[in-house]
Chain A
Amino acid sequence: MTGIALSLRKVTKTFGQTEIIRGVNLDIASGERHAIIGPNGAGKTTLFNLVSGRFPLSSGEIWLNDARVDRLPPHRINRMGLSRSFQITSIFHRLSVFENLRCALLWSMGYHYSFWTPLWIQRELTARTDSMLEQLNLAPRRDTAAGLLSYADQRALEIGMTIAGGASVILLDEPTAGMSNAETDSAVELIRRVSEGKTLVMVEHDMKVVFDLADVITVLVYGQVIASGPPQAVRANAAVQEAYLGALDAA
């Protein structure tokens, strides 16, 4: 099992009568940049919700770094080294950008639920938060309420909050959705930088981003994996061609 960061085994998920995820088997090697693509409604975000513990599985198993994590609540999975971002930006709107990032650092730096530690004298915490701000190019917006940031800045903050805790497995759900070309380019740069040495799994619609970043691509159609492999192999796959009606060649 060593070398596998995340492993899904016969994972299924049904909502009422509807089967959304229909027996997904997937191994993601540590250090890999893995993209999950597929048409709308294929179950990509649902898959993320299952892996991160947001929804319970209907059947199957999920293993994170050789520990079984399905049935655990999200915060427990997070503490075991898996962190995720959201397709619809999920930040703390009334808190400053600085506070958002600092909150994301608290657990991993061992502060937990402490109500006796004054935060303003925690030098290392402040320094690490500030260096995150630099990394995300958000330093000039340090004291702005997160809800007032531009869309692209909010997306950058979203990614920052996901990686701040130092998780070894990062799930990014459509990190570049709704961005302009220039914004997308800098987001790709950012993702490349911050995912260095980590396992990255991302759902993405922008094929340029996918082929830029991913070492391995998995194609999900109607809740099933129809292809998984290096970009060139996936691009040549007949079933994928069919599902995408040739859209991959355009990318």
Chain B
Amino acid sequence: MSGGRFKQGWIWIAALAIAIMAPWAFYNYGTGRHSGFVLSMLSQMGMMSILALSYNMLLGQAGLFSLCHATFFGIGGYATIHFLNLAGAGDLPLPMELIPLLAGLSGLGLAIVFGYMATKQRATAFAMITLGIGELMVTAALMFHHFFGGEGGVNANRMIGHSLFGLKYASGIQVYYLILAWTLGSALAMFFLTLTPLGRMANATRDNFERVQFMGYDPRIVRFLQFALSGFFAGIGGGLYAITYEIVTFDALAAPLSANALLMAYIGGASAFGGPILGAVLITLLQSGVSLMSNSWLVYVGVLFIGMVIFAPQGIMGLVMAHGPIVRAGQFGRLLMPYVRVVPAGLVMALGFVGLVELTSFLTIGAAQGKTLILFGNRIDVHAVLPWLLATVCLVGGGVWLRLEARAFRRVWEKLMLELKPQRSAA
């Protein structure tokens, strides 16, 4: 047990080291400049990690399916714009490094109000209330111009000239390290929360809300506190968003971002603490990386999500952890060959799918603009039969092939699980 925790600690430290070093891997020594694209992607990963982790305080830890989590992220963002403007005018004597704390308190304040309403209920009724709250906030953001600035949003200049370390935050790298520090602090704080009485009782209410009542706890108060605290951290994420982009519009609190929080937590793995971070990194990569290559990137995210829900409801982290007992027993070698055989089948199928999606998407959007489609380095005529045929054959053939290989894989997997079972229950 303690050995496992120690090993996990090393993974965290390694991840942190990568996060610290990453910008320098893309540093251009010729011009002496950081890659703006990479910095902004990494910054996005940081704030999305906070958003996804705080969302998982509800979904994974308390079993609360919230549909308005972006509300608290957004309010943190809007509030931060106003705080920055105040600080820039000299009316708020607070260093830049502490502004995200105010953003968190803004999120907390709103989460206390809305949480009081929403946590009266649980399960479906709770989800419905949060859906309403989310819509309400979008409407409010478009109606109340003084605070939200209408459709154009509000903006600020982050160079408020007040820092604990004498930094100006003119460059992206300084902002990135500010985000990283807050992401680390928030992640540690949220991890700490899982190890407190409230954190444990949140797990307990998730598993069986009725029983906790007969142990002296009011499940409603457990839900409420968990909701309020998760709003605090979401607000911090929103504050970092405002500092990075210096503009906040209603997108920062609208439903698509709430859905994103859900996607990240779920795809990464809601049942493991670190899962949402993994999800946030992956979705951000897809968002910034794949969106450059393809208009259809949202289709791929959607398919990934549906695939995960059907085949791996524990998320990527759950998949990884399922290998734990096999690796510990030194039996991973037996899975190697089945993996080697599954991967090409999966690739062929994915290739066929991507081909069809890109062809279809190009037919409706690109062709009308008189462009030519370049797919995997080849110029392709979307009106010819061959590319369509090839993609279909790949998709169907790959699918059948994958099914066969997956069956063989499952046989090996189940055999391993059966062999390892006595050891697992003894542990």
Q: Give A residues with C-beta under 8 Å from B.
A: 52-54, 73-75, 78-79, 83-84, 86, 90-95, 99, 102-104, 106-108, 111-120, 143-144, 148, 161-162, 165
Contact = CB atoms under 8 A, between A and B. Distances in A.
A180 to B, nearest CB: 20
B221 interface: yes
B215 interface: yes
Nearest to B224: A113
B195 A144 contact: no
Interface in B175-221: 192-193, 195-201, 203-204, 206-208, 210-218, 221
A119 B197 contact: yes
Given A113-B201, A117-B197, A143-B1, A107 B225 contact: no
B58 to A, nearest CB: 15
Contacts of A115: 193, 196-199, 225, 229
Of listed B193, B201, B216, B427, residue having the most chain A CB within 10 A? B216
10 contacts: A83-B214, A90-B211, A92-B208, A94-B206, A99-B200, A103-B204, A106-B201, A106-B216, A113-B198, A115-B225
Given A92-B207, A103-B212, 19 more contacts: A53-B213, A54-B213, A74-B214, A75-B213, A86-B211, A90-B208, A93-B207, A103-B215, A104-B215, A106-B197, A106-B200, A112-B197, A113-B225, A114-B196, A115-B198, A115-B199, A162-B214, A165-B215, A165-B216
A162 B123 CA distance: 26
A115 B208 CA distance: 20
Nearest to B202: A115
Nearest to A105: B215
B214 A92 contact: no
Contacts of A114: 196-198
Contact of B213 (A74, A103, A108): A74
A172 B291 CA distance: 60
B378 interface: no
A79 B216 contact: yes
Contacts of B229: 115
Nearest to B213: A74
B222 interface: yes
6 cross-chain pairs, A with B, having the tightest CB-CB distances, nearest first = A107-B216, A115-B198, A92-B207, A74-B213, A111-B197, A78-B216
Contacts of A111: 197
Contacts of A108: 216
A102 B200 contact: yes
Nearest to B206: A94
B425 A144 contact: yes
A52 B216 CA distance: 11
Interface in B271-326: 271
Query: Which of B1, B208, B229, B425 has the most chain A CB atoms closer than 10 A to its own CB?
Result: B208
Contacts of A143: 1, 427
Contacts of B216: 75, 78-79, 106-108, 165
B196 A117 contact: yes
B186 to A, nearest CB: 15
Nearest to B215: A104
A118 B195 contact: yes
Nearest to B211: A90
Most buried by B among A114, A115, A143: A115
A118 B198 CA distance: 10
Contacts of A53: 213
A108 B215 CA distance: 8
A107 B217 contact: yes
Nearest to B1: A143
Contacts of A83: 214-215
Contacts of B225: 113, 115
A120 B2 CA distance: 12
Contacts of A119: 195-197, 200
A205 B116 CA distance: 44
A73 B215 CA distance: 12
Contacts of B214: 52, 74-75, 78, 83-84, 162
A106 to B, nearest CB: 5
A113 B195 CA distance: 12
A78 B204 CA distance: 17
The residue in B201, B204, B211, B229 that gathers the most chain A C-beta atoms within 10 A of its C-beta is B211
B215 A78 contact: yes
Nearest to A52: B214
B413 to A, nearest CB: 19
A78 B213 contact: yes
Contacts of A84: 214
A120 B1 CA distance: 14
Contacts of A86: 211
Contacts of B271: 94
B324 to A, nearest CB: 14
A182 to B, nearest CB: 21
Nearest to B226: A115
A116 B214 CA distance: 23
B176 to A, nearest CB: 30
Contact of B203 (A90, A92, A118, A120): A92
Contacts of A104: 215
Given A92-B204, A143-B427, A144-B425, A75 B211 contact: no
Contacts of B201: 103, 106, 113
Contacts of A165: 215-216
A94 B213 contact: no
A93 B217 CA distance: 18
A124 to B, nearest CB: 14
A45 B1 CA distance: 41
Given A52-B214, A102-B200, A91 B195 contact: no
Nearest to A82: B214
